[in-house]
Amino acid sequence: MSPQNLTYRQAIEELETILRALETDAVDVDDLTARVQRSAELIRLCKQKLRSAESAIDQVFENLEEEDEEYPAE
């Protein structure tokens, strides 16, 4: 599945699966490069989703602050 179609949770779960396989030596050396590359894609996706969520949350707080300035509590 393309990383762009994954949710944050799905990406984390796939990363955990890859990590477990690496920790148990269940990954063949020939497959190692592909697993590491896939892990890098998933990590980039997770970082992007976290940055996007942080930006959206910051925007919500900025909007609340602007509303407070426009309509101060009496």
**What is the rounded distance in angstroms from the CA atom of residue 2 to the CA atom of residue 12?**
14
Dump pLDDT digits (tens) for 41-66: 999 999 999 999 999 999 999 999 88
pLDDT tens-digit map of 16-27: 999 999 898 878
Map tokens 């396989």 to a residue.
Answer: 21
Helix (H, G, I), strand (E, B) or coil at 24: coil
